[in-house]
Amino acid sequence: MSGPLGGLNVLAAVTNIPGPLVAAHLARRGAAVTKIEPERGDPLEASAPAWYAELTADLTVMRLDLRCAQATVLALAARADLLITSMRPRALQACGLDWSRTHAAFPRLSHVEIVGEGGDRAGGAGHDLTYQAVAGLLTPPAMPRTVFADMFAAERAIAAALEALYVRDRTGLSTHTEIAIADGARALRAAYEHGLTAPGGPLSGSFAGYGLYRTADGWVALAALERHFQDRVVASLGVASLERPALEQRFIERSTAYWQEKARQDDLPLAAIE
């Protein structure tokens, strides 16, 4: 496949969400990616088959018993520039893909290791929901709309993979980088901790120019943070000032489609809530 990563060989021993997202991204950028799955397959295929098909469309997928097929796996590692894994450390050791062994055997092979918790806690059990819970990102009893921690960890792992390739290109040295999903979840909390989205903060809904409004047949999201947008909203909606009661009364008079078109015409930071 052509692209900026053409000629790069990646071995990805990954399942579920973060690792496959990384593998798919690198493949779309031109890398030749071989995805190793356990014999029973990737759980994502059973729970979200269309997404699994999308993420593996540009990959070579092999299903192996990693503990019994170490020779095959190591042969693939020998040809790879980059190894991506998303398993617990003891499982990684059991199939011979831990950093100490791969680095000794293949000094130019860089490794991006996705784990749940970092450091000494890397072997603990958990998934996106538990990492969001510990980070304080949940509002019970509502479940999150998406797997924020997993997807943010994938973005961090992509950056780590590109950084590893850059370092090796400059220095000739391979690197090992641990990406902890829990760390990413805690990082996602920063806007709340610094007051932006905390109760009373400017992005919490306390400011009328940044919030959700009911229309005649649905909802819209308004994000008029800058003064020029605020002035434009006041003029476009024909309200006396940017205050919640006036905006609520105005938005509910018309359909969502009407407000979408109004936003397009008047260049307002407004979108329908799907």
Residues contacting 229, CB < 8 A, separation 6+: 209, 223, 268, 269
Within-domain flag for 115: yes
Within-domain flag for 146: yes
pLDDT for residue 67? 76
Question: Kind of pairing, strands 82-85 and 9-13?
Answer: parallel
Within-domain flag for 183: yes
Rg of the chain (C-alpha set): 24
With tokens 């829990």, the residue in question is: 182
Q: Kindly report the CATH number assigned to the domain that includes residue 222.
A: 3.30.1540.10
Mean pLDDT value of segment 158-177: 97
- Residue 69's pLDDT band (cuts 50, 70, 90): confident
CA atoms of 250 and 253, how far apart (whole Å): 6
Task: Give the number of domains in the chain.
Answer: 2
- Rounded to two decimals, the pTM is 0.92
Task: HSE, CB side, 13 Å, CA atoms: give it for residue 209.
Answer: 16
Within-domain flag for 203: no
Q: Which domain holds residue 258?
A: 210-272
pLDDT for residue 70? 83
59 and 150 assigned to the same domain: yes
